[in-house]
Structure 1
Amino acid sequence: MTSSARTPLSDQDRRILALEGRTFRYVGAKERMIREEFGMSPTAYFVRLNALLDEPAALEEAPALVHRLRGRRTSAQSEGPAGSGRVA
């Protein structure tokens, strides 16, 4: 697939990647930011994030972040039912 055939990232997708690059000091701070910034539940956010990690445009936008989050996702999946399945 050529890069011209790829769907570019939306502004919201770029903001999701930016949020994933941040560090939060307090428990619940990330979930609160998700609700305030995106107007969605943390569950809906993580569903979108997981789909985003498989998009070539996301890999081009933030390669180190996407590789790190893919690694976390793979680790969580290999843990089985005890793993949360969330990437962050």
Structure 2
Amino acid sequence: MIEGYEVPLHKALTEVILLAGVPRTLAFLLWTTASAIGFGLHQIWVVPVAAVAHIIFSLLAKRDPFFFEVFIRALKTPKQLDP
């Protein structure tokens, strides 16, 4: 590192973008699906279920904001390791 030079690293570049406490992509996926099923197919019971799921996901994201990224990566990894 060169003396006298500093590069500012903004906190927003390293944090997960949350939408109402849930990672943005998960919130979009959850509420788009819930609204399509709830209002498109007239199954209104899906909306309260999605609200409860949103609360559960927000509690998980509060504990660890990278939980969902790690979970997706764990699903993609091979289940058996080669020797």
What's the TM-score, normalizing by structure 2?
0.29
The structure with the larger Rg is 2
| Structure 1 length-normalised TM | 0.28
- By percentage of residues, which structure has more strand? 2
